[in-house]
Structure 1
Amino acid sequence: MGLFSNQFSNVVEWEEFRDDMLFWKWDNKEIKKGSRLVVRMGQDAIFMYNGKIEGIFKDEGSFDMESEIIPFLSTLKGFRFGFNSGIRAEVLFVNTKELTVKWGTKNAINIPSPGLPGGMPIKSFGTFCCKISDYEVLIDKIAGIKKQFTIEDVKSRIMSMLDQVIMKWIVKEGKDIFNLQVNAFEISKGIQEDLDMEMEKIGIAITNFTISSVSYPKEIQEMATKAASHSMIGDMNKYNQVAMADSLSKGSSGGSMASDMAGMQVGMMMGQQMVENMNKKPQNNETQESSSGEKKPNFCPNCGAKNEGSNFCPNCGAKLA
């Protein structure tokens, strides 16, 4: 009867494929006579027998198992000579695409900081990308005991070590903990290297890691906002003057209300300035002016006696005008 038994043919394919899955194992059916292998775009099919890789098929398409697949498998090709029943081999379908995952710290990470005994608590968010890089390691460490492996499985492994790795690279780089977003690129590269080194142990590569945002406690955020506001006060008067002048220059009917309001503000500012000028008292070192327009000093330059507006000093008789 040849390689396969005379049973109904079946299709070896990735059933119920999902984009968030890294691999799925076809292992609970018998490969029968007339079976076909279906490999779709973005997939590789790995044939395994007794836990060992027999062959890897990367081309997409539909293939006849007996004539196009079995002859190219290292051990199973011998089955065509004398086996009358089907083959109970395993086929591991691998997602070859690079997957992007969002991450975020569930709890605040306390970053050591001088003057802060408990450290500075921060939260961070971003994304990382991963893909399967080593099939043999993957099968030895993961696929040998699991039927499928999803991106959530990868994420759980990443999150279990991420807090310590983030803390390590922030402290190692000696960055200002109040301005981490500026240095996020350098910190991200270090984190990616460490995570990639760890995930290589199960045959998965971390191809990219980014920090999108860093958030501080509410009190720190409010202080930063207030400091930014204070830094603008020096230019606020100039800004108001320019804004009002610009509004007045747009004297169109459509902007009449804005012009009127700007005019009222200018009038109020001018009135306030006039009041301030009127309330100013003459200083002691100012001179007095007579009805004839002549200026007389308040004190005699000869003896220093106070002058009450006369042309001669009442003390020494010196001429003052």
Structure 2
Amino acid sequence: MSFFRNQFANVVEWQEFRDDMIFYKWSNREIKKGSRLIIRPGQDAIFLNNGKIEGVFRDEGEYDIESQIIPFLSTLKGFKFGFNSGMRVEVLFVNTKEFIVKWGTKNAINIPAPGLPGGMPIRANGTFNFKVDDYIALIDQIAGVRDQYVVEDVRIRITSVLDQLLMKWITREGKDMFNLQSNAFEISKGIQEDLDMQMIKSGITITGFNVMSFSYPKEVQEMITKNASHGMVGNIDRYQQISITDGLASGKMSGGGTASDMAGMMMGMNMANKMLNQMNQQQQNQPAPSQNDGTTSQMRPSEQKRPNFCPNCGTKTGEGNFCSNCGHKLT
């Protein structure tokens, strides 16, 4: 009974294909006469004999192993199926697509910062891209001892060194600790290069790395937000006005208590000071008297205003330059 069972042809394929699986090894089975190889889109099939690559097949389709595959194998091209013998090889199916993986720091990273002896705790998140690039290195380092490899395995490996790389590139060249997002591209590029140097030894290339956002402690984030608001309004007086207005609008300063009274007084004083400042500025901006030949023009005595009553005796004045009652000079 076993004699006939060994003669049955089999199908060499990746039966349980998963999008998150990097490779799958068809092994520990004997390829029989009449067997077929099925390569689906996005897959490469690698024939292995004693851990060495015999042939790599990339074109999708269905193939007769005896007539279409064996003639292209390096050391097994002359293999002939016997009446009761099969070919013992391993077939490694590799997912050729580019994988996109999300990442995030599990714990806060304490980045050295001025005035903070323990460092500033920062979290970050983003994505990285990778694909299999070197089949020989992949087999030597991973596939030689594993039957399958999934995206989660790569993610765990990368996140294990990510904290050190983030600290390295964040602290490099004295970056602004309170505005790391502006340096996200440079930080991402540096981390990608370092990760690629580590993963390429396993046949995997890091094709992209992105830091999407940095997260600060709540207190630090509030300080950054306030500082940005202060920079937006331009001066502390206006910032205080906006803060008070926001407080009244949100109801935090509503009611007849001391807080709301003080807020109203501050707003009134600020408005009054603002009006006085505007008046002073207007007076300062008034044009100076016109000059002629370097001397300031003055009103002639006849052009000066004559008083309606004599400052000496109080008699109503007329058109003359002297008081008609006491003779006091009026101009």
Q: Same fold per TM (> 0.5)?
A: yes
Matches within 5 A, 1:49-88: 49-80=49-80, 84-88=84-88
Matched, 1:190 2:203: no
Is the partner of 1:77 in helix, strand or coil? Answer: coil
**Distance of aligned partners of 1:226 and 1:60 in 2 relative to their CA distance in 1, 3 Å threshold:** same
Q: Is the Cα–Cα contact under 8 Å of residues 41 and 60 in structure 2 kept in the other structure?
A: yes
CA distance in 2, matches of 1:220, 1:311: 72
Q: Does 1:136 align with 2:136?
A: yes
| 1:188–1:34 distance in 2 versus 1, CA, 3 Å | same
CA 50–5 in structure 1, closer or farther in 2 if over 3 Å, else same? farther
Name the TM-score, length of structure 1 as normaliser: 0.71
Shift of 1:174: 2.0
**Partners of 1:31 and 1:89 within 8 A in 2:** yes
Q: 1:10 Cα shift?
A: 1.2
In structure 2, the residue matched to 1:249 is none
Q: What is the identity percentage for the equivalent residue pairs of Structure 1 and Structure 2? A: 68
CA shift for structure 1 position 29: 2.1
Contact 1:5–1:86 (Cα < 8 Å) also in 2: no
CA contact (8 A) 2:7 2:84 kept: no
Give the match's secondary structure for 2:214: strand
| SS of equivalent to 1:146 | coil
TM-score (norm 2): 0.69
> Do the aligned partners of residues 295 and 31 (structure 1) sit closer, same or farther apart at CA in structure 2, a change above 3 Å counting?
farther
What is the match of residue 157 of structure 1? 157
Residue by residue over 1:273-294, the C-alpha shift from the partner in whole angstroms, topping out at 9 and shown as x without a partner, is: 9xx79xx9xxxxxxxxxxxxx9
Q: 1:230 Cα shift?
A: 3.4
> Which amino acid counterpart does residue 217 of structure 1 have in structure 2?
P
Does structure 1 conserve the Cα–Cα contact (< 8 Å) formed by 2:306 and 2:330? no
Distance 1:13 1:94 in 2: 11
Q: Which runs of 4+ in 1 moved over 4 A?
A: 232-237, 318-321
Give distance in 1, aligned partners of 2:143 and 2:160.
21
RMSD: 3.2
Whether contact under 8 Å (1:126, 1:213) holds in the other structure is yes
Deviations 1:249-294 (A, max 9, x none): xxxxxxxxxxxxxxxxxxxxxxx89xx79xx9xxxxxxxxxxxxx9
The answer to whether the 8 Å contact 1:47/1:54 transfers is yes
Q: Against the structure 1 CA distance between its residues 32 and 115, is the aligned structure 2 distance closer, same or farther, given a 3 Å change threshold? A: same
Structure 1 pair 319–172 and aligned structure 2 pair: CA distance change class (3 A) = farther
**Inter-CA distance 20–216: structure 2 relative to 1 (3 Å threshold):** same
Q: Gaps spanning 5+ residues in structure 1: where?
A: 241-271, 281-293, 297-309, 313-317
- Taking a change above 3 Å as real, the CA distance of residues 81 and 295 of structure 1, as seen in their structure-2 partners, is farther
Q: Which runs of 5+ in 2 are unaligned?
A: 243-267, 277-304, 313-327
- 2:218 is aligned to 218
Contact in 2 for aligned 1:10/1:35 (Cα 8 Å): yes
Residue 40 of structure 1 and its aligned partner are, at CA, apart by 1.0
In 2: Cα distance, 1:201 partner to 1:103 partner: 21
Alpha-carbon distance change, 234 to 166 in structure 1, aligned in 2, over 3 angstroms: closer
Output the CA distance in 2 between the equivalents of 1:150 and 1:174.
Answer: 38
Question: The residue matched to 1:102 in structure 2 has which SS?
Answer: strand
Range that drifts further, 16-25 or 68-77: 68-77
Contact 1:5 1:33 in 2 (8 A): no
What number of residue pairs does the alignment pair up?
252
Structure 2 counterpart of 1:25: 25
Residue 204 of structure 2 aligns with which residue? 204
Letter in 1 for 2:87: I
| CA distance in structure 1 between the aligned counterparts of 2:330 and 2:150, rounded to whole angstroms | 102
- Deviation readout 1:14-69 (Å, 9 max, x if unpaired): 11101111100000322112110011111100000111111000111000011000
Equivalent residue number for residue 44 of structure 1: 44
